[in-house]
Structure 1
């Protein structure tokens, strides 16, 4: 356990953000390597993996629901020096992770086909997406165990073990991708199925490594079988904080589904270009996400320790860091977005769509950094409903006009990207205003 209630706030954020950024960088490297080999299979394969990968947002929603509640409650317990409550929350998060894994497999295999048929640009894209999803679902289900263990450590101020395991599993994934997708060394290329299988194998090994760490090295929170009996009161505490955060990512699934729906008439190349551009964009977001993911533990421990000024300082420091980093990345990436996309495909239509997407979407990077930081602070304060309200508002003001525009004469794909920029900017302003109100009310209770 690391005490984050003393010492410089900026130092704590940096010390937590750097290892997380390294882990995220390796994760992004995997995404890009995976994308590179899938891109060699053609537009339909890229589009299929991109469309099939949208299911990940549902899983991210559920893992956020689990992880955010775990981080918040454990960080508060650490701030209060309440070891028993920290262990209860951790072990109940393991029970919930098993239930969520079973739900993911049931819904994924049961409803995946219908979902992909509704948004795929053509039959070939749908088939590729379904194949990828079937092999990726076991890995998505195992993500819950990884999140439960990693979130427990983050709540205690420890991130390096999670980062090390993440790096090792992602390096394994990078090695497996060309072997399983392209058949390097084996002569048996599995195509998009190999992409999903590589992920599932790597995540399974990561779960084993994290379990071994907890069994042999972790002392503050640990596995306790007697705490695995379902405790509905603890679930209510965790889900009260985590459910809205999970809802944010569930809405991101809806958001992505809307985009794929409104651009499907532009063909598989357009869906592939958006898929490539989206992966590149995610990699650019990494530094701001690392800062935002550090915020709940730092602010949360200080909230639990009843130190309101340090909570306020955490927000000021984190949002400043995030805005500076995102502004620098915006300026850096404006020079040649087509070059970034062309690293993964030689298809001109795909490159043009992806580059156009990046050139426009880069305009909202600073606003996105503010949103990330505000979401982290809502988690630290133990009330994530305002963040869900902010995301819901953004979805409504994006989806309704986007669907309307797609049926108008003269509709062009760039209209979707400009609408996205406008709605993200509005969401950032709303998140900021909601957070100010939450900080005023919540911090008054610990003054």
Structure 2
């Protein structure tokens, strides 16, 4: 367990974010390898990968319920020095993740084709997406166990073991991708199905290592099957914090699905281009998101310890770091978009649409950085409903104009990117407003005033 209620906040942010950032940068390489080999299979394969990959937003929504709530409750328990409460939260989270993972696996195999048919009219794209999903679903189901363990460790201030294991898993994925997709060394090319299979094998490897770590290492929390019996009050606490956060990712799944549905008339090339641009964008976001992901544990422990000024300082430093990284990414996309995309597809139409997408959408990167930071602070405070309302604002203000534009005779795909930029700017303003309101409600300044008064009294005594 690492005490984050003492010491330099920027130093804590960097020391926690750095391992995450390394892991995420390696994950960026995984995205690039996957895109490179699948992109060589043609635009239908790239579109199929993108549509199937969008289902991960639905999985993120479900895993986020456990991710946010587990980390928040455990960080509060650590701050309050209540190990028993932290252990109960962890074991209830593990029990829920096991049950939900099995359910997701069953629904995935039965509902994959219906989902793909809904958002694509191209039979080749649907066929490719289905081939990928059938091998990728085990990876989706096992995410829940991984999230419960990693969020518990993060809540106690420990990120290095998770980072090392995830890095090894991603490196395995990178090695397996060319072997399974293109048949390097084996002579048997699985095509797009190989990408899904490589992901599933690497996640199985990661889960085995995480379980081994928990069995062999002393930890602040540990697996105790006697605590796996349903504890209704604790589950209610987990859901109260986690459901709004999960709802936030579910709305992102709806948002991405809406874009794929709206651009259907432009063909498989447009869907492939949007998928390519989105994946590159998500990969670029990872370092900035590492800062935003580190902040909740620091702010959460200080909130649990009633160190309210340190909670405010955590937000300030996190916002500065995250938005600065996003500004750098903006400049990269404005100047180097074509260079980043050229190697992923031989289809010039796909590249042109992707370049236009990145060069327009990058104007929302800095506001998006502020949204990430605010969402992390809502998690730390144990109230994620404002983040859900903020995302809902973005979804509504995007979909209504987008639907109207799609009915116009001069509808162009670029109009969707302009609307998207405007709605993210609006979302960042809404998130910041909600966070200021939460700070006023949950972080009384009396605590700070008392500390200052005590310090003055000490100075008087010394004098």
SS class of match (1:343): helix
Cα displacement string for residues 294-350 of structure 1 (whole angstroms, at most 9, x for unaligned residues): 011000000000110000000011101111111122123311311111121121011
Cα displacement string for residues 251-304 of structure 1 (whole angstroms, at most 9, x for unaligned residues): 111001100011111111111111111111011111220010001100000000
Structure 2 unmatched runs, 5+: 448-463
Q: TM-score, normalised by structure 1?
A: 0.99
Alignment match, 1:290: 290
Counterpart CA distance in 2 for 1:105 and 1:402 is 33
Q: Does the aligned pair in 1 maintain the 2:28–2:284 contact within 8 Å?
A: no
Alignment match, 1:281: 281
Q: CA deviation at 1:120?
A: 1.4
Cα displacement string for residues 200-237 of structure 1 (whole angstroms, at most 9, x for unaligned residues): 01001100000111111142111111111111111111
Q: Does the aligned pair in 2 maintain the 1:180–1:190 contact within 8 Å?
A: yes
Q: CA deviation at 1:446?
A: 8.5
Alignment of 1:31-430 (within 5 A): 31-430=31-430
Counterpart CA distance in 2 for 1:108 and 1:223 is 28
Aligned alpha-carbon RMSD (Å): 1.0
Alignment match, 1:13: 13
Structure number with greater Rg is 2
Q: CA deviation at 1:445?
A: 9.3
Q: CA deviation at 1:106?
A: 2.2
Counterpart CA distance in 2 for 1:130 and 1:445 is 55
Counterpart CA distance in 1 for 2:339 and 2:293 is 30
Q: Does the aligned pair in 2 maintain the 1:121–1:271 contact within 8 Å?
A: no
Alignment match, 1:435: 435
SS class of match (1:229): coil
Q: Which moved more, 1:103-112 or 1:13-22?
A: 103-112
Counterpart CA distance in 1 for 2:435 and 2:311 is 12
Q: Which moved more, 1:325-334 or 1:78-87?
A: 325-334
